[in-house]
Structure 1
Amino acid sequence: MCCLCPLDRCHGTRQWQCRRVMADTTATAAGAPRRQGRGNASRFGGRRGRVSRQQFMSNGRVAPGLESLLDPRSVALVGASRRASRWGFLFVRGMEQGSAVRNNYYISRSVDEPETGWYPSIEALPEVPELVVLLIGDAGSRQQIELCLELGSKAVITIATPFTGRDDPLLDRIAEAGMVVLGPNTMGLVCTHTRLDLAPPLLHGEPRDPGRVAVVSQSGTVSADLALELYARGVGLSTFLGVGDQYCLTASGAIRALADDDHSEAVVVYLEDPLDGREFRAALEYARGRGVAVVIMPAGDTGASARAVASHTGALATDARVLQAVCEESGAWLATSPADAVDLTCVAIRRRWAAGRRVAVLSEGGGMVALAADVLGRAGLVLPSLSDQTRDRVGLRPGAKELADNPVDLALVGAVRESPMVYADTVRVLAESGEVDQVLTVGQFGDLIGMNPEREDIEAFEAEERQAVSALINTSERTGVPVLMQSFRAAPGLFEELVAGGVLVVRHLDHAAKLLRLGVADAGPTAGDGLRTGSQNLTYFQARDLLGRYGVPLVPSTPATGPDEVLAREGLPGPLVVKALGRVHKSRGGGVELALPDAEAAAAAVERMQRDLGAEEFAIEPDVSMPGAVELIVGARRSGRFGIVALLGVGGTHTEEIDDISLGFAPMDSATFDTMVGRLRSRDLIWRGSEPRIDLAAVQSVLESLVTLLDERREVLSAEVNPLRCTAEAVIGLDARVVCEEHKS
């Protein structure tokens, strides 16, 4: 009979697992040394004969403050089982993955076999376990936590609920002792970089390569979906923390800790309740400051989901609209599904953004050429024509030049199936041209050998394919132009190398189009075009009208849909400004042209934007020149747990890069406003010694108007003026944005 399960015969993976443990037990009984990591230390003393941890783990530190959870020197599992049908058996299997780098202890009242690591109680262990996992009931869990406090354990994972409420005195004792508790109602945790698997259902108990993305979640099933998709997309999982009901370790605390984790480039959060809104917002801001992308997938957006959430964890569901303003302010992303969350994560960790919607497509010909153009066009992307110079540099075959445009047919460039470098060379030319913002390759790249497996030069061809992969990655890194690949079946090895180098690889064209659209700078965390649900942007002129009714001063503006309409307008003296509407960051990618001398120049600018950006609506405005002016951003956001949040900061085209903002909460008064001004790093722009350079009273009036707008109009979620151009005599808004609750018909 197997030592881990009551079966006379094991099947599948269990057979391998049981034979391995049986061999260890037999060796111990025969007098051989014990397995490393199985109680091989004196009672509560040091460890002897351990295997070097550096031999088995990734370099870099785990999340500071969570070391005892994610990288413990010893783990005790209370509620371990040898029966394959029990939850405790799955945890035993998961713990075995890290047996070479830590001491594992299995606690079961009915088993006392120290030679195999099984003990009847925590008190019987040869050392104080650093981490204790509790798979027992509520009352037993409470007793074990009290025992862990007495012994000095550093961390506990509890599935059951040992607390009487959030005011339980036991929580105060835990905080005073500095113990970290994960749970209750948690699926557990995983850290692939330290070979710690204490959530076996997440990865089905199978060892996985260390990944790049962390997951913080209040749901186990959602987390399993996320983890599997992350591995399918080539980025993998670094850490999983099932925060459950967040009695001790909250989602906010997990985000803040993981922002300093050397292995995590992004954090995906499935959230049902942030508990403390201000703490949560501060954690998101901290992650942004550390350069770690956060993708939030909220629950409770509809009545049905709110009821489902409440029945799942007992926590009050967070309306997804609560997070919209917070995400916009903190730079976080808002996802609508696990697949959407992984898409956003892959784009975010690539850290390359397209300046506009211009895409060059490379294909091997056939129907995929026309199909790619159609799919990308429906996604709002533009396939610009290439200049003669670029067409020459592409190196078309004689007689084919007049046929080549965009998409580029590689069959007219060279024998792509004879040389994969044709892909890389063509991508390089297009990325260096300055005529496109992103490049998409479509076809068989990554599996060209599979099309002709009988060829004699397979090794040389494979070497050239690897060379092409390196060249593609280098081109994207050097030029900053994102490259995305749609491949029918990219070969293993090449696929991982491309993704690690920032070249995303997908199977389907529509998926490629979505990622290309997300890769445009305007579609980043502050955009409002489909990344958030439950809200809608007012048009530019609707927003201006609404803000004007609340006394916000704005520069005059004239709408236009084409160059002829600009020329037909009377009374447009220069200098003028042309803005392409429908873009959050109009100035990026050529969406704004300044200092146009007259209407003819403005009309020409409109024509260029129509051609290059695909813009359809425009605003024609006077170029307001104010010597010595300071540009600010003022705004107000509505949130649930946060109330109405006012925003003041350095404005203009580089607001996000400068990142000098100050937040305050309604009601807005002089004291709150003065505090916000004082928190700005760039206060010297506003003050000259003890005297203000600008009309601060007028700035405060604008901010008060925005807060009043949100207070009186409950359907308005946010309102913003950026920039607000300020002098000592006056202030005037040059751009406006208002987001309202979406009205369902």
Structure 2
Amino acid sequence: MTLSATERRVPERDLGPLFSPNAVAIVGASNDQTKWGNWISVQALRMRQRRPVYLINRRGEPVLGERAYRSMAELPQRADLAVVAVPAAGFESAVEDALAAGARAIVGITSGFAELGAEGEARQTALARRVREAGAVLLGPNCLGVLDSGSELYLSSNPLPPGPVGLISQSGNMALELSRILAERGLGFSRFASLGNQADLTVADLIRSYTVHPGTKLIAVYSEDFGDGRDFVAAAAEATTMGKPVVLLTVGASEASVRGAKSHTGALVSDSSVIDAACRAAGIDRVSSPRQMAGLLEALHLFGAAPARRVAVLADGGGHASVACDLAERYGLSVPEFDPELSRLL
């Protein structure tokens, strides 16, 4: 459970501190290469020329050869953004410290909340409410991080290629797979936000932010839980109306995927037919795999979102060409015969 729809709908929430902060604090920074606090710190230090990066751990010992602080209260300046990667038992305390130090955005890497059941769900809801009351925003918890190529914000576990695609993903590994496939096609990310459990910021909030972000030309979404479905559809429709195509990959076609989503992020998966109807209403393009998503994003980037039904099939063998023609017509496309002059030129 996240905050109610009424609680979430705060007009014009400021995501500037999330995507373009004045300074960043990594709470739970570590020298241990098996920990998230190490992976995030390694990436964060790439952006020291753009903004101050402060590493924080309880012992105050140097991390990755850099000075570390024991708490955000010790920092020489206020940091807009705090990335919290501490054990679940200390997460609420770390968030309280960050808010007290003036943080306006929190990225919760820590897991162990709604995905574990009712008790974790209650903790998560109370935490999101506290962040809201402080006038801040929370991405996650149970997320992979955040990235903005334009503002040189690198706060995910792995480096990601820059490009025109704004990615919103409820799966970190799905984001990493998509980044690899897009990179093969010369594409990458303008922004990346890992949704995690969507305790506070939702997929709709992030779509709206991407819609007005100049560097984002296409919006890609992997989500297991849409929260307020009407708000999601409205946000996606706004994006497509403003010329930013929205491509969606989701789950829910099988009982197994529903069980998996529940254990992954505590998600309540929507019925697949309902999602299809929502996609038609909002002009969303739904795909069924990361590779299909990458292919459609590439086509939209190259040719735009104008409707097209007539396609040509070029193949190195008759069998492949025939199969491709059948697939094209199955999905409502037309494969016209080439005229003699075009055949001669080819």
Normalising TM by the smaller chain, what interval?
A: 0.7 to 0.9
* Aligned 8 A contact 1:369 1:407 in 2: no
* Aligned 8 A contact 1:214 1:239 in 2: yes
1:216 aligns with 2:168: yes
Instruction: Identify the residue that residue 153 of structure 2 maps to in structure 1.
Output: 196
Instruction: Identify the residue that residue 408 of structure 1 maps to in structure 2.
Output: 345
* Aligned 8 A contact 1:104 1:117 in 2: no
**Inter-partner Cα distance in structure 1 for 2:272 and 2:239:** 20
Instruction: Identify the residue that residue 76 of structure 2 maps to in structure 1.
Output: 126
Question: Which deviations, in whole Å up to 9, do the C-alpha atoms of 1:149-189 show, x marking residues without a partner?
Answer: 22221111112357762884543342233201111111111
1:175 aligns with 2:132: yes
Deviation for aligned residue 1:261? 1.1
**Inter-partner Cα distance in structure 2 for 1:368 and 1:328:** 35
Instruction: Identify the residue that residue 186 of structure 1 maps to in structure 2.
Output: 143
Structure of greater Rg:
1
Instruction: Identify the residue that residue 42 of structure 2 maps to in structure 1.
Output: 93
Instruction: Identify the residue that residue 183 of structure 2 maps to in structure 1.
Output: 231
Question: CA 1:375 to 1:199, structure 2 compared with 1: closer, same or farther past 3 Å?
Answer: same
**Inter-partner Cα distance in structure 2 for 1:226 and 1:368:** 28
**Inter-partner Cα distance in structure 1 for 2:223 and 2:125:** 24
1:317 aligns with 2:266: no
1:146 aligns with 2:96: yes
Select the residue among 299, 318, 338 that pairs with 1:347.
299
Percent of residue pairs bearing the same amino acid type? 31
Instruction: Identify the residue that residue 233 of structure 2 maps to in structure 1.
Output: 281
**Inter-partner Cα distance in structure 2 for 1:346 and 1:109:** 45
**Inter-partner Cα distance in structure 1 for 2:144 and 2:105:** 16
Deviation for aligned residue 1:295? 0.9
1:265 aligns with 2:227: no
Instruction: Identify the residue that residue 137 of structure 1 maps to in structure 2.
Output: 87
1:73 aligns with 2:30: no
Question: CA 1:368 to 1:172, structure 2 compared with 1: closer, same or farther past 3 Å?
Answer: closer
Instruction: Identify the residue that residue 310 of structure 2 maps to in structure 1.
Output: 357
Question: CA 1:275 to 1:166, structure 2 compared with 1: closer, same or farther past 3 Å?
Answer: farther
Question: CA 1:325 to 1:347, structure 2 compared with 1: closer, same or farther past 3 Å?
Answer: same
Question: Which deviations, in whole Å up to 9, do the C-alpha atoms of 1:241-298 show, x marking residues without a partner?
Answer: 1111111111111111111111111111111111111111111111122211111111
* Aligned 8 A contact 1:373 1:383 in 2: no
Question: Which deviations, in whole Å up to 9, do the C-alpha atoms of 1:87-134 show, x marking residues without a partner?
Answer: 222112101211100100111222355993311221111111111111
* Aligned 8 A contact 1:108 1:120 in 2: yes
**Inter-partner Cα distance in structure 2 for 1:187 and 1:340:** 23
> For residues 626-665 of structure 1, what are the structure 2 equivalents within 5 Å?
none
Q: What's the secondary structure of 2:240's corresponding residue?
A: helix
Question: CA 1:347 to 1:283, structure 2 compared with 1: closer, same or farther past 3 Å?
Answer: same
Mind listing any 5+ residue stretches in structure 1 that lack a counterpart?
1-62, 362-366, 392-404, 410-745
Question: CA 1:356 to 1:222, structure 2 compared with 1: closer, same or farther past 3 Å?
Answer: closer
* 1:278 maps to amino acid: R
Q: What's the secondary structure of 1:116's corresponding residue?
A: coil
Instruction: Identify the residue that residue 49 of structure 1 maps to in structure 2.
Output: none
Instruction: Identify the residue that residue 249 of structure 2 maps to in structure 1.
Output: 297
Instruction: Identify the residue that residue 251 of structure 1 maps to in structure 2.
Output: 203
Instruction: Identify the residue that residue 9 of structure 2 maps to in structure 1.
Output: none
Instruction: Identify the residue that residue 384 of structure 1 maps to in structure 2.
Output: 337
**Inter-partner Cα distance in structure 1 for 2:222 and 2:311:** 33
**Inter-partner Cα distance in structure 2 for 1:340 and 1:190:** 23
TM-score, length-scaled by structure 1? 0.40
**Inter-partner Cα distance in structure 1 for 2:318 and 2:267:** 50
**Inter-partner Cα distance in structure 1 for 2:171 and 2:124:** 24
**Inter-partner Cα distance in structure 1 for 2:216 and 2:259:** 33
* 2:22 maps to amino acid: R
Question: CA 1:370 to 1:321, structure 2 compared with 1: closer, same or farther past 3 Å?
Answer: closer
* 2:135 maps to amino acid: G
Instruction: Identify the residue that residue 720 of structure 1 maps to in structure 2.
Output: none
1:368 aligns with 2:305: no
* Aligned 8 A contact 1:94 1:196 in 2: no
Q: What's the secondary structure of 1:201's corresponding residue?
A: coil
Q: What's the secondary structure of 2:193's corresponding residue?
A: strand
Deviation for aligned residue 1:354? 6.4
**Inter-partner Cα distance in structure 1 for 2:33 and 2:44:** 15
Deviation for aligned residue 1:85? 3.0
Q: What's the secondary structure of 2:25's corresponding residue?
A: strand
**Inter-partner Cα distance in structure 2 for 1:260 and 1:332:** 17
Question: CA 1:149 to 1:86, structure 2 compared with 1: closer, same or farther past 3 Å?
Answer: closer
Question: CA 1:85 to 1:287, structure 2 compared with 1: closer, same or farther past 3 Å?
Answer: same
Give the aligned length.
321
Deviation for aligned residue 1:319? 2.4
**Inter-partner Cα distance in structure 1 for 2:90 and 2:35:** 18
> For residues 160-171 of structure 1, what are the structure 2 equivalents within 5 Å?
160=110, 165=122, 168-171=125-128
**Inter-partner Cα distance in structure 1 for 2:299 and 2:13:** 26
Question: CA 1:301 to 1:352, structure 2 compared with 1: closer, same or farther past 3 Å?
Answer: closer
**Inter-partner Cα distance in structure 2 for 1:297 and 1:176:** 33
* 1:197 maps to amino acid: Y
Deviation for aligned residue 1:384? 2.7
* 1:227 maps to amino acid: S
Instruction: Identify the residue that residue 57 of structure 2 maps to in structure 1.
Output: 108
Q: What's the secondary structure of 2:192's corresponding residue?
A: strand
1:155 aligns with 2:108: no
* Aligned 8 A contact 2:279 2:285 in 1: yes
TM-score, length-scaled by structure 2? 0.84
Question: Which deviations, in whole Å up to 9, do the C-alpha atoms of 1:516-564 show, x marking residues without a partner?
Answer: xxxxxxxxxxxxxxxxxxxxxxxxxxxxxxxxxxxxxxxxxxxxxxxxx
* Aligned 8 A contact 2:80 2:105 in 1: yes
**Inter-partner Cα distance in structure 1 for 2:307 and 2:343:** 18
**Inter-partner Cα distance in structure 1 for 2:237 and 2:86:** 37
**Inter-partner Cα distance in structure 2 for 1:339 and 1:276:** 28
Deviation for aligned residue 1:147? 2.0
* Aligned 8 A contact 2:72 2:101 in 1: no
Mind listing any 5+ residue stretches in structure 2 that lack a counterpart?
1-11, 114-119
**Inter-partner Cα distance in structure 2 for 1:177 and 1:368:** 62
* Deviant stretches of 4+, over 6 Å: none
**Inter-partner Cα distance in structure 2 for 1:338 and 1:376:** 20
> For residues 658-737 of structure 1, what are the structure 2 equivalents within 5 Å?
none
